[in-house]
Amino acid sequence: MRYLILLRGVNVGGNHRVVMAELRQQLTELGFDQVRSYINSGNLIIDSSLPLVEAQAVVTTLLATQYDFPVAALVIEKDVYLAELAQAPDWWGAEGDLRHNTLFFLPTFTPEMLVPLRQQELIYDQIHYGQHALFWTAPAKQNYSRSLYAKLLPLDLYPAVTIRNRNTTLKLAALLQN
């Protein structure tokens, strides 16, 4: 089975440093095969015969024992990731002064965390609610401060997601298929 591992909040602004080469080696030593990483922000692809629940547990334990700061991770099956991406709406990726992101649900996510979003009138944002992620388009510059996306930080949802821009989301899909 091929899995994608998405880490949250590592190697951003020089904080919470996780050296991808070391993590790849650690994952290999734990029995994962074909361990690869993409860019330095916590995107890894692994092959394993372990079921998803066990692979998630091994990765979570590794991160908890190797780092002196919390590192949240989502382990998602290749086919699930690709199926989720296939459901992305047409407007996600539209031309213009827009930012297109995917907010992947970490294991700590609960559906109740979406309630505040669903109660908002969307003037500047577009949100597609997927099973494993949100596809979100918001203004990149003009009106960004008025967008709901700019106000994510205080929401309970924020620490329960890991965010990738559209380019990274699509590149990971391509890498999963190789």
Q: Environment class of residue 175 by beta-carbon count within 10 Å: exposed (0-12), middle (13-18) or buried (19+)? A: middle
The answer for residues whose C-beta is within 8 angstroms of residue 65's C-beta and 6 or more apart is none
Establish how many alpha carbons lie within 13 A of residue 90's alpha carbon, considering only the half-sphere containing its beta carbon.
0
pLDDT given for residue 9 in this prediction: 85
H or E segment to which residue 65 belongs: helix 52-66
pLDDT at residue 14 greater than cutoff 80: no
Q: What CA–CA distance (Å, rounded) separates 123 from 34?
A: 44
Q: What CA–CA distance (Å, rounded) separates 42 from 164?
A: 10
Q: Which residue has the tokens 């079921």?
A: 51
pLDDT at residue 105 greater than cutoff 70: yes
Q: Which two tokens stand for residue 168?
A: 């990274």
pLDDT given for residue 13 in this prediction: 67
pTM: 0.95
Q: What CA–CA distance (Å, rounded) separates 10 from 16?
A: 5
Q: What CA–CA distance (Å, rounded) separates 157 from 88?
A: 20
pLDDT given for residue 5 in this prediction: 98
Each residue's pLDDT tens digit, 42-57: 999 999 999 999 999 9
pLDDT given for residue 60 in this prediction: 97
